[in-house]
């Protein structure tokens, strides 16, 4: 864990995180709890969400898991109400639930495309709309987890590119409408992140896939989970109090080189690889 932040940075705050049972969002939940926040973790699987919360409590943090699918507004609103009853008004809400798979557009079903858009884009809208009435009055942060696909067209990722681009514009629009409510809205756009389920799906050939992906990143490595959590923590802290309506890429410079290396790697993963 990086030590660039003072201890107790989020003391007394309530952070609500969707998709917090695993991967990037779980590490964000762990980091926020370590900095003093009470953390509500919402996911489709109560077992996974509560498992993440149990691990946080085991090291002295405050956390509780709740079950809801971000595609179901009513279920999400109910889970948020339970979280509000447990920990009070929400200071920070992170919309992190996401879905992905590798498929060429010509071979993708309408249902497959819609599923990712519903989880990522509609799920982000549902999250922010459902939490609005529960936010700390006059002072709160909304943070969406987007991806570099929002600005970087990529082969096999038509569904994700569309959904993430929508998230970016949603955050920018809400930043205009909700600023006078004291709500600050931003997004982070990670590139490849090591040790995540998402990248295991996008790099099915292991080291071979990773070599192709990293060839398109100037820093020649993926991010680690702590680096993503550090950016989320910064944006939800007082140090970022005038950063609003912004999408920040955290990609080792990948967007400067473009999507071709990553997209080619994904295309090749769909085809037999010569032995």
Annotated catalytic sites, by residue?
146, 164
Alpha helix ranges (H) inside the chain: 23-34, 46-58, 73-87, 110-117, 123-131, 158-177, 197-202, 207-214, 225-235, 254-257, 260-269
Query: Across-strand partners of 237?
Result: none
Whole-angstrom distance, CA of residue 193 vs CA of residue 201: 12
SS3 118: helix
Question: C-alpha 148: how far from its chain's center?
Answer: 12
Contact 240, 5 (CB under 8 A): no
Helices (H) and strands (E) in the chain, counts: 11, 7
Whole-angstrom distance, CA of residue 198 vs CA of residue 209: 13
């Amino acid at each position: 864990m990086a030590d660039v932040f003072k201890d107790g940075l989020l003391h007394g705050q309530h952070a609500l995180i969707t998709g917090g049972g695993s991967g990037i969002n779980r590490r964000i939940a762990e980091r926020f709890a370590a900095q003093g926040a009470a953390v509500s973790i919402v996911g489709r699987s109560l077992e996974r969400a509560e498992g993440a919360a149990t691990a946080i409590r085991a090291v002295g943090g405050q956390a509780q898991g709740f079950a809801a699918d971000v595609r179901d507004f009513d279920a999400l609103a109910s889970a948020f109400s339970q979280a509000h009853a447990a920990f009070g008004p929400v200071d920070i809400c992170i919309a992190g639930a996401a879905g992905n798979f590798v498929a060429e557009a010509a071979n993708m079903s309408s249902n497959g495309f819609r599923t990712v858009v519903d989880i990522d884009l509609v799920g982000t809208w549902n999250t922010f709309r459902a939490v609005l009435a529960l936010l700390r009055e006059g002072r709160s942060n909304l943070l969406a987890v987007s991806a570099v696909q929002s600005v970087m067209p990529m082969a096999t990722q038509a569904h994700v590119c569309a959904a993430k681009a929508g998230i970016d514009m949603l955050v920018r629009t809400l930043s205009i409408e909700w600023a006078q409510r004291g709500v600050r809205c931003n997004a982070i756009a990670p590139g490849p992140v090591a040790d995540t389920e998402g990248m295991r799906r996008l790099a099915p050939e292991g080291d071979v896939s990773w070599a192709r992906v990293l060839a398109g990143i100037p820093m020649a490595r993926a991010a680690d989970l702590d680096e993503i959590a550090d950016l989320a923590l910064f944006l939800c802290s007082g140090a970022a109090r005038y950063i609003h309506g912004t999408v920040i890429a955290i990609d080792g410079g990948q967007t400067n080189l473009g999507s071709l290396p990553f997209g080619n790697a994904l295309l090749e993963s769909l085809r037999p690889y010569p032995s």
